[in-house]
Amino acid sequence: MRKRIVAGNWKMNKTLQEGIELAKEVNNRVKALAPQHTQVIVGTPFIHLAEVNKLADAIAVSAQNCATEASGAYTGEVSAAMIASAGCRYVILGHSERRSYYGETDEILVKKVARALENGLDIIFCVGEVLADREAGKHFDIVKSQLENGLFHLDAASFARIVVAYEPVWAIGTGKTATSTQAEEMHAFIRQTIAGRYGKEAATATTILYGGSCNAKNADELFSQPDVDGGLIGGASLKADDFLAIINARENH
Ligand code: PGA
């Protein structure tokens, strides 16, 4: 069975002290829950990674970005090697906020994907359409091109280290979740697209997360869909109660 994942994306929230408190609580409650089927990840700001990794023994830790270059004179950047050296197993790449606010193109993402894989990081790779694309009926084409341009140059062994996160941009932080039907339809399409490139077995083994206003109330319905393997959770990952409810919803399905 493919891996089920509930990953928190804290974005630019929480001071170091607040983040340590939240991570501690999440870690301890996940340890008590001892999920059998669900990998829990917290995606913290860079500043928090080393400290959170020290206390995390029931959850994995992810960065939210990495540099395109390996090292050197790139003021303000954080390399994949640094992230790995802080104890991280994952990095989120291609989030729509990075794509739209920081101009991350497919070409930039190809470089980031390479740096992450070279340093042993598994990747949560985000794809998703904006509202205008959906309204124009172009959502499948957009997501397909994001997969093709960002990932499909990888060989099968590298692709096996990718978790795909479908995050319709119109649902992120808006309180407007995709319906479970819309999510399933796109997840099934993503899996079929992966099958076309890497074969059915690889597609069946790929974890595909849904993200975009996923919360304690709608998680159960979303996770009931056969191709929705878990969630990438923004706002609702900032409160331990809400995040744990989502983890429970995944674990109990
Ligand atoms: P949201 O964010 O859950 O706050 O909508 C999800 C994400 O951007 O990963």
pLDDT tens-place string over residues 1-44: 899 999 999 999 999 999 999 999 999 999 999 999 999 999 99
Would you say 59 and 40 are in contact if contact means Cβ atoms under 8 Å apart?
Answer: yes
- Would you state the pLDDT for residue 64? 98
Which residue owns the Cα nearest ligand 1 atom 7? 234
CB atoms within 10 A of CB 221: 15
* The one catalytic residue among 167, 184, 187, 251: 167
Ligand 1 near 216 CB (within 6 A): no
Which class for 28: exposed (0-12), middle (13-18), buried (19 or more C-beta within 10 A)?
Answer: middle
Confidence of residue 100 (pLDDT cuts 50, 70, 90): very high
In ligand 1, the atom with minimum distance to the C-alpha of 235 is 4
Ligand 1 centroid, distance to 232 Cα (angstroms): 7
The pLDDT value recorded for residue 33 is 97
Decide if 186 contacts 209 (C-beta within 8 A): no
Q: What's residue 175's pLDDT?
A: 85
Helices (H) then strands (E): counts for the chain? 12, 8
Catalytic residue among 95, 97, 184, 251: 95
The pLDDT, as a whole number, for residue 253 is 85
Query: What confidence score (pLDDT) does residue 176 get?
Result: 86
How many other C-beta atoms lie within 10 A of the C-beta of residue 215? Answer: 21
CB 222 less than 6 A from any atom of ligand 1: no
pLDDT band with cut points at 50, 70 and 90 for residue 185: very high
Cβ–ligand 1 contact at 173 (below 6 Å): yes
Q: What is the rounded average pLDDT of the residues 195-209?
A: 98
Residue nearest to atom 6 of ligand 1 (CA): 234
Q: What is the mean pLDDT of residues 53-71?
A: 98
Name the CATH code of domain 4-251 (choices 3.20.20.70, 3.90.1150.110, 3.40.50.300, 2.170.190.11): 3.20.20.70
Q: At 164, which helix (H) or strand (E)?
A: strand 162-166
Spacing, Cα 212 to ligand 1 middle (Å):
5
CB of 212 within 6 A of ligand 1: the answer is: yes
Residue type, 140: F
For this structure, is 97 an active site residue? no
User: Is the model's pTM score more than 0.75?
Assistant: yes
**167 assigned to active site:** yes
Of residues 172 and 22, the one with the higher pLDDT is: 22
- Structure tokens that stand for 209 in this block: 């997360």
- CA-nearest residue, atom 1 of ligand 1: 234
